[in-house]
Each structure stands twice: as C-alpha cells, then as structure tokens.
Chains A and B, each alone.
Chain A
C-alpha cells in the first residue's frame, strides 16, 4: 500500500487558557512587538501511514489523533494532507 503523509495540528480549545502562549506574547511585547495581540501554542505532527487511498489515510490518522495525539478534554485537532511522495 502506498505511504501517505498527513499533518496534524493540535491546539488547545479556545476555552482553555494557554500560559505558554501568554508568556510568549509578554516576551514579544517587551521586545517591542506591541502589535502582537495574541499567541496560542500548539503541536504539529507529520504522520506517515500505509493506506489504500488518501481517504483511508485520513481516517486512520483521525483515529490516531483522537486516541493519542490530542486529549479531547483540553485540545482539538485538524488534519492537512501533505503532497504525495514523489510529487514534491
């Protein structure tokens, strides 16, 4: 089966305060970047899976993301399909 790369972006739910993002904003302000209104820190994963097609790859990575990569209590995630290998 062909190898598919799926990108996963995990972010804190809007309702969850992000102390690290807040600290980054404060640091940027002290560096003079007063126009930076907010920063939210998240996580980025590149997941390679063997799947018959892109839809199956997405479904598998969605499953992986909700099982382990993100904690649904505090986080959400979205997927992005990477270009198939060889077409870059």
Chain B
C-alpha cells in the first residue's frame, strides 16, 4: 500500500510521516509536490503538519488552492483515504473537505506537549484497528487548533458519528481540563460523512516509536493497511 505525503512550501512534518510509513509501518511512500496535478496512483494521502505558506492569511487558506488539492479532492470524492494532520487538518477544513474551522487556541498559547485523545469512531480508514473508546497518547504542537463550527453543524457531526477523536484525560474522561485548546465539545478530530477523510490536530506520525515517547500513533497507519487489505510487510 503506497502512501502519498503532500509537501507544501512550509510543511515540516512531511518527513516524519514518510518515516513512520516507510521505516515503522514498512510500506512504500512517495512525496507529492504541491504543484503536482496527479497523485501518481497512491492508495492513501497524508496532508502533513507544518506551516504551509507561512500560515499567511489563515492557516491552510493558501494551500487549499494548490494544484495538488484538486487531485486530493477528486481522490477523496472517489472514496480514497485521506488523513490531515495538524496543518493538514486545517487545510482540509479550508478546502471544505471537512466541516468547521480551526481558530486560535482559547488560551492564546502555542501548545506543544503530549495529550490524550479518546477514539470516538472506529469505522474510518485511520481508526479501524482501534477499540471503541481507546485512549491514545499523542503529541500536539499548534497555536491554532481550537475546533469551531456552527452549533447545528456540530450537532450533525455528533449524530452522524463524525467526531473521531476527543481530548480526554488519561483514563478517557472528557473534561474541561483535558481540552487543551478550548475546542468545541473537546473535538480533536473529525471525518467527512463518508468517513474516508479524517483530520486531527495531534501528531500520530510523531508517536510511532517508543523512543519518541509514545507509539500510540502507529495504530492510525496500521488501520489504513487493514482497511486496504494489504498485509503489513
């Protein structure tokens, strides 16, 4: 199963994602340049973290108009699995592939630490190998990760099961203290109605090996493998 990792000017977690896929998961990965108009036949797309276009105007606002994003939108519409991590999540929201928006953290601080998230939906390509309610310990590093949307949008996401991750305590309790950036209903990640496009603020690709402090993020990439039916190797 070949993963495509999109590289925008200012992406800085592209190599982390490539490393996680090729060195830990043991699958091929290709970098896709933001000016590419083809995804070159990859089986899954990762929009990595970073500061695409310097976060100018709004996070993800310029990147969404990159040529490659048209190909990503077509891939997503055809049911292809797309994972947006941090800035990638912001880009997916700006592009309208996911609903809502990420604004400045409520505390107006750049938060860089390990947090816990509870898996709320396992019927996605990136959570299929999780157990319902599983708690993952993942790093975050963002200044603009507060998830917001109109109340009716959030109600619809909840009732459709499109909330995929919620910030929680280590035991899985969703509390105000654990809501690291003030996100509406502690939302850390969501998916589209067909559940093949997933975005989240934490960085699973930086938590795939124990030496990095946590290997909990690997399950997202293992899930994609299981989803495609390709054996790990």
Q: Which residues of A contact B (CB under 8 A)?
A: 12, 15-17, 19-20, 22-23, 68-69, 71, 73-74
Whether a CB of chain A sits under 8 angstroms from the CB of B185 is no
Closest chain-B Cβ to A72's Cβ sits at a distance in Å of 10
Query: Would you call A19 and B105 a contact (CB within 8 A)?
Result: yes
How extensive is the interface on chain B, given as a class?
20 to 34
- Known contacts A15-B150, A17-B106; A69/B57 CB under 8 A: yes
Closest chain-B Cβ to A16's Cβ sits at a distance in Å of 6
Q: How many A-B residue contacts, CB cutoff 8 Å? A: 37
Report 23 cross-chain contacts, Cβ distance below 8 Å, ordered by A residue.
Answer: A12-B103, A16-B103, A17-B106, A17-B182, A19-B103, A19-B104, A19-B105, A19-B106, A20-B104, A20-B108, A22-B108, A68-B61, A68-B65, A69-B57, A71-B61, A71-B94, A73-B93, A73-B99, A73-B100, A73-B101, A74-B101, A74-B103, A74-B148
Q: Which residues of B contact A (CB under 8 A)?
A: 57-58, 61, 65, 93-94, 99-101, 103-108, 146, 148-150, 182
Closest chain-B Cβ to A12's Cβ sits at a distance in Å of 8
Q: How far is the CA of A19 from the CA of B109 in the complex (A)?
A: 10
